[in-house]
Amino acid sequence: MIILDATVVNIALPHIQTGLHFSLANLSWVLNGYTLTFGGLLLLGGRAGDILGRRRMFIAGIAIFTLSSLAGGLATSSAMLLAARAIQGVGGALASPAVLALVISAFPEGKERTRALAIYTGVVTGGSSLGLVLGGVITQWLDWRWVLFINVPIGIGVLAATPLFVSETPRQPGRFDLAGAITSTGGVAAVVYGFIRAASNGWGDRVGIGAFVAGAVLLVAFVLTERRAQQPITPLRLFADAGRSGSFVARLLLVAGMFGMFYFLTQFVQEILGFSPLRAGIAFMPMTIALFAVSRFAPRLMPVIGPRRLMITGMFPVIAGMAWLWRVAPGTGYWDGVFGPMLLFGVGMGLVFVPLTTASLAGVSPRDSGAASGMVNVMQQVGGSLGLSVLVAVFGTAYSGALAHPAAGLSALAARQHALIHGMSSAYGLAAIFDVVALLLIVTLIRVPAPRPGPAPEAPAALDLHEADSAL
């Protein structure tokens, strides 16, 4: 539910834009409002679970998520919807941090953990693409508001079942690094706002420039805070290993391109190709199916090929798919311009993300396992919001330029569509560069040994949450 909400509104964006009168640039805040607070507060949510109890924070997070979903579905203005989406992110940040930490504590490093991480990665990455399909079905058969309303009965069911099946964990002494959480989230949010402001008002806009300056100041303050904090939410020692740092940045760049592709392609198939929301959701099925299938198969290839070679192999179809979209034109159709890239993305991402997650967690000391797990999720969410804002800025600049100088003989509608496609092509070109840089990072920095069979672990179902906390 929490992963789906990062993308489930994508297909509904044209309907949300019409219903609540969003501008083309500000529309991206419907996605970024969620991913910014979710990614920015994940590590603080994990610390809150350690100090106050994981079950307690899980229940609180799901309750906040459910109520804000209801508020978002009832929104009567763009400001109300954005506020609800931001609060949804807060709820997700409180509820979700324990998942990956429990996975790595339940399975020793080796073959079994790799298999468990493959399932987790399939849910995270495949869930994002599945959200596009589900969003299309709901928008077509019901209304865009139901992409938010659907969380309400699920959330109520989770709240009712959790006390029956999840034990409370013992509280641990500790401190909340509020300064680190505020400066990191505020810094990234200010930078994202600067890029989106540039998309609508140009790069010389004073408010946008001020946002960039404020973001830089806050991020510097975040680094200084983490260096001095007794219990930082982001231990900077995690970045001392070049391979791990490279894996974090590579993930950020990959997710940045992927979220941008989701955002623009959902509008392309509806605005240009004239697909209904249902057809638009189904258009993403090839990627969803390929990603789920390949991510389950990838762990079997890792001992044979090696994690690094598998990542490099997977990057080539990802780059090829983005380069294919870069060539989008007014005459591009689904079968000759969308279907192929979808298959390439599904296969490539399925090969890359499992070993990339393994590289991010390999060799982490037990005291930092929770922080490293949280950082994987942070890069996933912050990469999506920051990357999307950059691509929206590039799109907005190219779109405005093409609209100001239309080709001769075009009608107003044709000129707008031509400008839209030109803007999307420019964004895909930058996303392709993101992917190339990610490949270079993998080639030059990441070194991770092939997984070795480890000792047989206890069945995950028998693991008590108290034992998981002790392992962490």
Side chain identity, residue 204: G
What's the CA gap between 36 and 227, in Å, rounded?
23
Contact 437, 253 (CB under 8 A): yes
Side chain identity, residue 206: R
The pLDDT value given to residue 70: 94
In sequence order, which residues have a C-beta less than 8 Å from that of residue 464 and are 6 or more positions away? 167
Q: How far is CA 205 from CA 198, 218, 379, 401, 405, in A?
A: 7, 20, 29, 16, 21
The pLDDT value given to residue 25: 63
What's the CA gap between 14 and 139, in Å, rounded?
10
432 backbone dihedrals φ, ψ, rounded to 5°? -65, -35
What's the CA gap between 339 and 331, in Å, rounded?
15
The pLDDT value given to residue 295: 77
The 8-class DSSP code of residue 368 comes to G
Q: Determine the 3-state secondary structure of 332 from DSSP.
A: coil
User: What kind and span of H or E run contains 392?
Assistant: helix 369-404
In sequence order, which residues have a C-beta less than 8 Å from that of residue 421 and are 6 or more positions away? 268, 272, 328, 329, 330, 332
**Tens of each residue's pLDDT in the chain, 472 residues:** 777 777 677 777 888 888 888 776 677 778 778 877 887 787 777 777 777 877 788 889 999 999 999 999 998 888 899 999 989 988 988 887 766 666 666 677 777 777 777 777 767 666 666 776 777 778 778 888 888 898 899 999 989 988 887 766 666 666 777 888 788 878 888 888 788 777 767 777 888 889 889 989 998 998 888 888 777 777 787 787 888 888 888 998 998 888 888 888 888 888 888 888 788 878 888 888 888 788 777 778 888 888 888 999 999 999 999 999 998 888 888 898 889 998 998 899 888 888 888 888 777 776 666 667 777 777 877 787 788 888 888 888 888 888 877 777 777 777 888 888 888 899 999 999 999 999 999 998 887 655 554 444 343 333 333 333 333 3
Contact 156, 66 (CB under 8 A): yes
Phi-psi region of 335 (alpha: psi -120 to 50; beta: other; left: phi over 0): alpha
Q: For the beta carbon of residue 437, count every other beta carbon within 10 angstroms.
A: 15
In sequence order, which residues have a C-beta less than 8 Å from that of residue 306 and are 6 or more positions away? 450
In sequence order, which residues have a C-beta less than 8 Å from that of residue 365 and are 6 or more positions away? none
Query: Whole-prediction pTM value?
Result: 0.75
Question: Domains in the chain, start-ordered, CATH in brackets?
Answer: 4-166+178-449+466-471 (1.20.1250.20)
Nearest alpha-carbon partner for 307 in 265, 264, 358: 358
What's the CA gap between 282 and 78, in Å, rounded?
28
